[in-house]
Structure 1
Amino acid sequence: MKHPVRLVAASLTASAALLLTACGSGGDGDSSGKTKAVNDSGAEASAGASAKPGGAERPDIKLPAEFRADFAGWTNSDPKLQAVLDDGREELRAKYAAIIEGNPESDAVAFYDSGTSLVTARKWIKSFVETDDSLIGEIKAYDPKVNVSSKDTAVFFYCVDERKSSTKNRRTDKVTATPDSPDSVLQYRARLAKSEQGVWQTVSLETIPGGCK
């Protein structure tokens, strides 16, 4: 695949260690033990991002029918952790939408990314634009783990299975499938900071091919 769907790895600060020690403490999942899938075939994903009271007006991000993003288990009974999950989900969806739209300067990407993460995201999106490629198929994002280390910083790990996704060239309609290999199941490791508007923005991110078993 000419463009792996995964991001080019960016540096992640040492605060990621906080999440590793927090895993299994009960703060990274829904205490009810129920798994809830959120996907782009319905209104729940976009509605969840725009319905927060008292905060910034979040962009309405839409993905076309030919590309599906499923988010399994992205719910938490703690409102603070759920807020990180919501904005982390929309950050990923914004980047997929920007690739499909061919828009590296996407306002939605700039809304959810800042600093190093915004620079990396724009380079990644631009690489698809330069070869006139879009995305089709589906990805599954699952096993999110969140640790809020202070009132305005958080560390967030999750898995993305890209094996059912492909690129499709806009000019030739050539489809290039993602390899069906362990390296196509990635672990995303993000550091987030809460903006003055109350948005949990991703400020640094790295991806680990094969990081989710």
Structure 2
Amino acid sequence: MARHTVTTAAAAFAVTSALLLTACGGGDDSTTDDIKGADQGSSSSPSASASAASDAKRPAIKLPKSFRAGFEGWTNSDPDLQTALNDGKERLRASYAAIIESDPEADYLAFYSGRAAMSTGSAWVKGYKGLTIIGEVKVYDPEITYLGKTKTRATLFYCVDESKGYSKDLKSGETAGTPKGESPKVQYRTSLGKESSGVWKTETVETEAGGC
């Protein structure tokens, strides 16, 4: 199902952040933190700790039962970094929802995306024109850290196992998995910035198949 786009800005960010992070080396906690909306097709909201971190009303993102996204180990002992993790998680879920709804300019995707990330995200969604996604993906090994002393920017790396995720042609019903010869395990390298509202928006995104 992988149709990933790398931007120059994201690539430049990755070179810098690689010095700060180990690539997908594991989170602070190995417990499973599945998003209920992803598993059951209902709406999902950030955890209580994330909601308490700001007054911003975060959008409810819905995923159908035909597509599941399970998150493992998405916890951090720092409350603000936990909020950043939650918002980074919702940004990925927003991307999946936008693909399924064929809406590259979805409000909920824009809510969690800065200008560059919105451009990248919209392009990714447009790459699925005439298609939807089904099956399930596992999102694991998040690595997050502050970037700079102000604690208003952070880098977030994580891995996505797409081996059980598929694209489906909306007309023919034909399905396709990860292209032959390409790894179904994709590393996402993102940067986030904290808004005055307390929401952590994804600013840049880079993906690398096999990076995990």
Retained in 2: the 8 A contact 1:63–1:97?
A: yes
Whether 2:159 is the aligned partner of 1:159: answer yes
Shift of 1:48: 2.3
Whether 2:17 is the aligned partner of 1:7: answer no
Retained in 1: the 8 A contact 2:30–2:72?
A: no
- Residues 33-61 of structure 1, C-alpha deviation per residue, up to 9 Å, x if partnerless? 44223132259982325761232100000
CA distance in 2, matches of 1:52, 1:66: 28
Aligned pair in 2 of structure 1 residues 74, 43: CA closer, same or farther (>3 Å)?
A: farther
CA distance in 1, matches of 2:203, 2:84: 13
Q: Determine the structure 2 residue equivalent to 1:35.
A: 31
Correspondence 1:12-27 to 2 at 5 A: 12=10, 13-14=12-13, 17-18=16-17, 20-23=19-22
Aligned pair in 2 of structure 1 residues 182, 171: CA closer, same or farther (>3 Å)?
A: closer
Q: CA RMSD in A?
A: 2.6
Q: Determine the structure 2 residue equivalent to 1:98.
A: 98
Q: Determine the structure 2 residue equivalent to 1:148.
A: 146
Q: Determine the structure 1 residue equivalent to 2:126.
A: 126
CA distance in 2, matches of 1:145, 1:161: 16
Q: Which amino acid aligns with 1:73?
A: G
Whether 2:73 is the aligned partner of 1:73: answer yes
Retained in 2: the 8 A contact 1:36–1:72?
A: yes
Q: When the two structures are superposed, what TM-score results if normalisation uses the length of structure 2?
A: 0.85
Unaligned runs of 5+ in 2: none
- The number of equivalent residue pairs is 203
Q: When the two structures are superposed, what TM-score results if normalisation uses the length of structure 1?
A: 0.85
Retained in 2: the 8 A contact 1:114–1:201?
A: yes
